[in-house]
Amino acid sequence: MRRGMDASEKTRLQYASKYAGTANYWKYFIGQTKGLKRLKVADKKRRIEADFNQWLNQQSCHE
Q: What is the pLDDT of residue 51?
A: 97
- Is pTM beyond 0.85? Reply is no
Q: What is the pLDDT of residue 63?
A: 64
Residue-level pLDDT, tens digit, the chain, 63 residues: 788 888 899 999 999 999 999 999 999 999 999 999 999 999 999 999 999 999 999 987 766
Domain count for the chain: 1
Provide the domain limits for residue 12.
2-61
Q: What is the pLDDT of residue 61?
A: 75
Q: What is the SS3 assignment for the chain? A: CHHHHHHCHHHHHHHHHHHHHHHHHHHHHHHHHHHHHHCCHHHHHHHHHHHHHHHHHHHHHCC
